[in-house]
């Protein structure tokens, strides 16, 4: 089954090919002379979740007065029991030991001044989401008479045929505290071109010109880690646009792609994602593709580069300031490798650094290059 393409080919394209090529070459020259950032030199710790819980993939939204942070949370000490239960397809045990049990919610006047408010645990709507209602993307609605905010979140449960169900649900809110789950859930499942029962997670939702762009992580049938795109105007009908970026699994650091985010700035589309030893960055003139052969995509080619040991990041604009939020997981992994400590992926020893919470870096744009520094007071 091929992806369905309902958007016009020039959707979101604001630059001519020549304009993009000129800016891409300028960015490439800057990056060629740059190096990855050292974590402690450019970050400041700004938020710690309640004791015994963790903070990982997250989403920011501004209500016009305050910033709201929503983040996947739970008890990371359940890691081993939870993974064992999933491998055995023991869904009831997996539900009891689920690592990410809900959404943490913190509020502050800026992304640097956050205080914990509550933990939001959405109720299960059936066996399909009996295990996890986890990582989410919170976004504003723009349609008349629609709820003010939406939350697209990952679900795991029983597929009714003895296998694991993986999908996404959506909930609606007018105040960012009381959430009503959509009766149509699960609203999304992995596309037909993906490996059945494999990764389908980590959505990022943004609105452009009345179209909601939903970026998410999935694995294709060749085993390539993929960032894919679906679009909707009404949250009832969805179009599949296939993969916008792909790469093979990595054997050091984060194995697959995680935490994709796309931002649009001054005519350029920027893709940020966790992969391997940390944060990667790619650019495009279009929101529907971030890779392609030089002769068929654009004359100057394409690619991505490693910004540094940052994990589960978000890029946030606050007035004329830009921020990068992250946790310390990939930096801790780097230090463990340096010290010769084996803390294998998924173990509590590997994951416990997420209990430290959120770190913040300020982003200073130099043309199309995001450079990082410690936040100003």
Render pLDDT for 203-237 as a digit per residue (tens, 0 to 9): 999 999 999 999 999 999 999 999 999 999 999 99
Both tokens of residue 146?
Answer: 């629609």
| Cβ atoms of 155 and 91 closer than 8 Å | no
pLDDT at position 278, please? 98
pTM: 0.96
Cβ 291 vs Cβ 239: under 8 Å: no
> Nearest CA to 191 among 233, 238, 234?
238
With H, G, I as helix, E, B as strand and everything else as coil, classify residue 92: helix
pLDDT digits (tens, 9 = 90+) for 120-148: 999 999 999 999 999 999 999 989 999 99
Mean pLDDT, range 356-365, rounded to an integer: 98
Percent share of the chain, pLDDT over 70: 96
Residues with Cβ within 8 Å of residue 362, at least 6 apart in sequence: 321, 322, 323, 324, 372, 373, 374, 375, 376
Q: What is the mean pLDDT of residues 5-11?
A: 85
Q: Average of pLDDT values for 39-62?
A: 97
So where are the chain's domains? 17-373
3-state secondary structure of 96: helix
Phi, psi for 161 (deg, rounded to 5): -130, 25
Nearest to 13 by CA among 209, 214, 205: 209
Rounded Cα gap, residues 67 and 172, in angstroms: 18
Mean pLDDT of the 308-313 span: 98
Helix (H, G, I), strand (E, B), or coil: what is residue 56? coil
From residue 172, how far is each of 137, 187, 202, 346 by CA, in Å?
A: 12, 13, 18, 32
- Report which DSSP code applies to 83: H
Q: Is the peptide bond before 186 cis (omega within 30 degrees of 0)?
A: yes
pLDDT at 269 over 70: yes
Which residue carries 């369905």 as its tokens?
4
Among 263, 290, 252, 278, which residue's Cα sits nearest to residue 370?
263
Res. 301: pLDDT tops 80: no
1 vs 197, higher pLDDT: 197
Q: How far is Cα 171 from Cα 70, in angstroms, rounded to an integer?
A: 13
d(C-alpha 361, C-alpha 374), whole Å? 5
Residue 58 has pLDDT above 50, yes or no: yes
Q: Which two tokens stand for residue 70?
A: 């929503």
Closest CA to 152 of 121, 188, 127, 123: 188
CATH architecture, domain defined by 17-373: 5 Propeller (2.115)
* Assigned token pair, 120: 């939001």
> Which residues share a beta bridge with 73?
102
Reported confidence tier of residue 1, pLDDT bands at 50, 70, 90? very low
Tokens 């800026």 belong to 110
């Amino acid at each position: 089954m091929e992806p369905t393409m309902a958007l016009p080919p020039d959707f979101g394209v604001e630059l001519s090919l020549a304009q993009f090529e000129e800016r891409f070459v300028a960015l490439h020259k800057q990056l060629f002379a740059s190096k990855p950032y050292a974590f402690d030199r450019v970050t400041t710790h700004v938020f710690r979740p309640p004791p015994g819980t963790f903070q990982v993939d997250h989403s920011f939204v501004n209500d016009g007065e305050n910033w709201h942070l929503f983040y996947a949370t739970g008890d990371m000490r359940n890691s081993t029991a939870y993974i064992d239960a999933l491998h055995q397809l023991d869904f009831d045990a997996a539900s009891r030991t689920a690592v990410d049990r809900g959404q943490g919610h913190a509020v502050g006047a800026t992304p640097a001044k956050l205080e914990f408010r509550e933990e939001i645990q959405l109720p299960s709507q059936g066996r399909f989401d009996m295990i996890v209602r986890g990582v989410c993307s919170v976004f504003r609605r723009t349609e008349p008479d629609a709820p003010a905010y939406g939350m697209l979140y990952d679900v795991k449960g029983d597929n009714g045929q003895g296998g694991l169900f993986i999908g996404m649900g959506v909930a609606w809110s007018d105040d960012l505290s009381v959430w009503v789950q959509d009766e149509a859930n699960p609203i999304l499942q992995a596309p037909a071109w993906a490996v059945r029962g494999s990764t389908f997670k980590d959505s990022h939702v943004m609105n452009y010109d009345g179209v909601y762009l939903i970026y998410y992580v999935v694995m294709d049938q060749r085993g390539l880690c993929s960032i894919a795109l679906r679009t909707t105007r009404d949250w009832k009908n969805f179009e599949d646009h296939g993969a916008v970026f792909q790469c093979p699994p990595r054997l050091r650091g984060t194995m697959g792609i995680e935490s994709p985010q796309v931002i649009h700035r001054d005519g350029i589309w920027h893709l940020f994602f966790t992969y391997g030893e940390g944060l990667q960055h790619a650019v495009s003139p279009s929101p529907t593709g971030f890779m392609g052969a030089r002769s068929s995509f654009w004359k100057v080619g394409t690619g991505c580069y490693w910004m540094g040991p940052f994990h589960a990041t978000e890029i946030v604009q606050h007035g004329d300031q830009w921020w990068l939020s992250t946790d310390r997981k990939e930096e801790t992994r780097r230090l463990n490798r340096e010290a010769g400590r084996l803390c294998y992926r998924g173990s509590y020893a590997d994951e416990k650094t997420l209990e430290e919470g959120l770190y913040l870096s300020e982003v200073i744009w130099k043309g199309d290059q995001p450079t990082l520094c410690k936040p100003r007071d």
